[in-house]
Structure 1
Amino acid sequence: MFSARDLKKMDKDDVLELLGLESKKGPADWLLPTLGAFSVGLLVGAGLGLLMAPKPGAELRDDLRSRLQGGQDSLANGDGQRSESVSRGV
């Protein structure tokens, strides 16, 4: 039948399969693939939205560039204020 060496090589799923059982699936087993599919759908939807935007390409790119630059500027200003308050002990 089985030797001790064979049993040492088996993992939990092998033993459960021998008994006709299977391990219980946890939340991560269904949550992670679902979040991955949702993220891909979100990115595809955003890309299609940009492709079908009512603005011409150059105008849309300029608008996106200015918004991204504004966001970077606000992040830079916010981080600078936080580091100054930390160094002053506030």
Structure 2
Amino acid sequence: MFSANDLKKMDKDDLLNLLGLETRKRSADWLLPTLGAFSVGLLVGAGLGLLMAPKPGAELRDDLRDRLQGGQDSLANSDGQRRAEPVSRGV
């Protein structure tokens, strides 16, 4: 059996393991690694997106703006009662 000195040397996890139990998992035990992995994935995805972009940012924004304007114009032409409003930034 165990003496009192042996029990004093054991920590909480050793005593629980001796009884066949374990400590209760806290939400931080799984939440922090999950957030860390998500953050790394987000940074890797953003980096790959910047490296694989077909055009510089200004050209890409201009192309998107032109496509949106063209889509609004085609909607306005198909419906005579509605007029297309110009696409503006910062609205």
- Range of TM-score over shorter length: 0.5 to 0.7
- Deviation at 1:54? 1.7
Matches within 5 A, 1:18-57: 18-55=18-55
Q: Calculate percent identity across the aligned residue pairs.
A: 83
2:76 paired residue number: none
Structure 2 gaps, min length 5: 59-91
Report the count of equivalent residues: 58
Matches within 5 A, 1:3-14: 3-14=3-14
- Deviation at 1:5? 1.8
RMSD, matched Cα: 1.5
- Deviation at 1:49? 0.4
1:85 paired residue number: none
- Deviation at 1:53? 0.9
Matches within 5 A, 1:67-82: none
Could you say which structure has the higher helix fraction? 1
Quote the Cα distance in structure 1 between the aligned partners of 2:12 and 2:31. Answer: 22
1:88 paired residue number: none
- Deviation at 1:18? 0.7
- Deviation at 1:3? 1.6
3-state DSSP of counterpart to 2:53: coil
Structure 1 gaps, min length 5: 64-90
Quote the Cα distance in structure 1 between the aligned partners of 2:2 and 2:12. Answer: 16
User: If the length of structure 2 is used for normalisation, what is the TM-score?
Assistant: 0.58
- Deviation at 1:9? 1.3
